[in-house]
């Protein structure tokens, strides 16, 4: 009853005071009805101490509650910024990747222009050019699908297909850091129920971290794997990068934990949240200077 007014009002303390007064007098009335002598014997306690206690209790509750709400809003805003930042890093490397096929297609068009009479060659050049364009188009489509705002929907997604698509998108980023990105996927369809937008973002976060962990290593390699074990789909992201010590591992997924100069420490917080929400879990094993292995366990629908 009072909440609507409370929310709109600037005089929140007054509303808290009024609420605690009503609250206290109802309790006092009931107590007096059943135990009149008891109340009159402890009059100060019932008419002063209890209302004051109620007022402070309510005040504390409301302050903590408002703080939680604003923390949560802050987190959501940061998570959105993190997504934009992540995707802009990936976009920078993507620009390179789009230039390569463009250069190739330009070269083939020139060759066609020089000798249009050699139909066999012309046909071959056109075929290669079309392949290049198609591949670039697929990468861009996938990139746009990942970077668009999240939509609330859960559907069955084929993890193998998704891994192939994400690998295509992340390959330029890996190339930029001179890191090999290998995929050892289970070829049969593995379907899980999740929000595809969220799940793609989760994979991008893990793979981007793994590539970044290998950035200072000469033969950096990130391996993506998928296997099935006892009704769980296990998604493995392994790298031979900097690794983590026990202290760092225990802080993984906690908000704002980052060891990077320009890191936000929100990527894994968000990812863990999404994975737990679909009934999955994450297992980490890591050794400093050896590498890290993240295993994401997901409940899946057997075919």
Chain residues in the site for ligand ADP (CB under 6 A):
205, 209-210, 213, 239, 241-244, 248, 252, 257-260, 263-269, 292
Smallest gap, in angstroms, from Cβ of residue 179 to Mg ion?
Answer: 15
Stretch 166-205: interaction string toward Mg ion, x if CB under 5 A? ----------------------------------------
Is the Cβ of residue 16 or residue 146 nearer to ligand ADP in the bound state?
Answer: 146
Q: Give me the sheet containing 180-184, strands edge to edge.
A: 180-184, 221-229, 232-239, 291-299, 281-287
Instruction: Pick between residue 85 and residue 158 the one whose CB is nearest to ligand ADP.
Output: 85
- Angle, helices 119-147 vs 159-176, to 10°: value is 100
Shortest Cβ distance from residue 195 to Mg ion (Å)?
Answer: 20
Q: Minimum Å distance from CB 163 to ligand ADP?
A: 17
Rounded-to-integer distance, Cα 31 and Cα 222, Å: 69
Q: Do residues 128 and 101 lie in contact, with contact meaning Cβ atoms separated by under 8 Å? A: no
Q: Which is nearer to Mg ion, 220 or 267 (CB)?
A: 267
CA-nearest of 220, 226, 207, 147 to 180 is: 220
CB of 257 to Mg ion, least distance (A): 10
Give the span between the Cα atoms of 170 and 285, in whole angstroms. 23
Return the number of the residue (104 or 217) whose C-beta is nearest ligand ADP: 217
Residue 267 in contact with Mg ion, rule: CB under 5 A? yes
Helix (H) or strand (E) holding 285: strand 281-287
> Locate tokens 């188009």: which residue?
137
How far from 37 is each of 24, 34, 41, 47, CA to CA, in Å? Answer: 18, 9, 6, 14
Least distance (Å) from ligand ADP to the CB of residue 261?
Answer: 9
**Smallest distance from the beta carbon of 12 to ligand ADP, in angstroms?**
36
Q: How far apart are CA 179 and CA 214, in angstroms?
A: 7
Nearer to Mg ion, 136 or 240 (CB): 240
User: Which lies closer to ligand ADP via its Cβ, residue 113 or residue 262?
Assistant: 262
Per partner kind, with CB cut-offs from 5 to 8 A, the member of Mg ion, ligand ADP, none near residue 242 is ligand ADP
CB atoms within 10 A of CB 23: 16
Does 209 contact Mg ion by CB under 5 A? yes
Tell me if 54 contacts Mg ion by CB under 5 A. Answer: no
Give the footprint of Mg ion on this chain (CB under 5 A). 209, 267
């Amino acid at each position: 009853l009072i909440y609507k007014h409370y929310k709109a009002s600037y005089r929140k303390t007054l509303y808290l005071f009024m609420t605690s007064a009503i609250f206290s007098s109802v309790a006092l009335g009931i107590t007096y009805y059943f135990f009149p002598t008891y109340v009159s014997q402890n009059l100060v306690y019932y008419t002063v101490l209890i209302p004051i206690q109620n007022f402070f209790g309510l005040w504390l509750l409301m302050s903590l509650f408002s703080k939680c709400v604003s923390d949560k809003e802050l987190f959501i805003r940061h998570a959105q910024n993190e997504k934009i930042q992540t995707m802009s890093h990936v976009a920078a490397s993507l620009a390179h990747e789009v230039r390569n096929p463009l250069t190739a297609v330009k070269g083939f068009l020139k060759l066609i222009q020089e000798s249009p009479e050699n139909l066999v060659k012309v046909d071959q050049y056109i075929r290669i050019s079309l392949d290049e364009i198609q591949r670039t188009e697929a990468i861009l489509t996938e990139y746009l699908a990942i970077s668009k705002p999240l939509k609330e929907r859960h559907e069955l997604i084929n993890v193998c297909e998704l891994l192939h698509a994400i690998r295509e998108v992340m390959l330029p980023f890996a190339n930029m850091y001179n890191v090999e990105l290998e995929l050892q996927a289970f070829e049969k369809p593995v379907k899980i129920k999740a929000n595809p937008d969220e799940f793609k973002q989760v994979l991008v976060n893990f793979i981007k971290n793994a590539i970044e962990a290998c950035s200072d290593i000469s033969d950096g390699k990130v391996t993506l794997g998928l296997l099935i074990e006892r009704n769980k789909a296990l998604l493995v992201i392994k790298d031979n990068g900097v690794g983590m010590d026990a202290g760092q591992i225990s802080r993984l997924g906690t908000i704002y934990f980052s060891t990077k100069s320009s890191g936000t420490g929100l990527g894994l917080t968000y990812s863990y949240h999404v994975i737990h929400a679909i009934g999955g879990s994450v297992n980490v094993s890591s050794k400093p200077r050896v590498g890290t292995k993240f295993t994401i366990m997901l409940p899946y629908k057997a075919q």
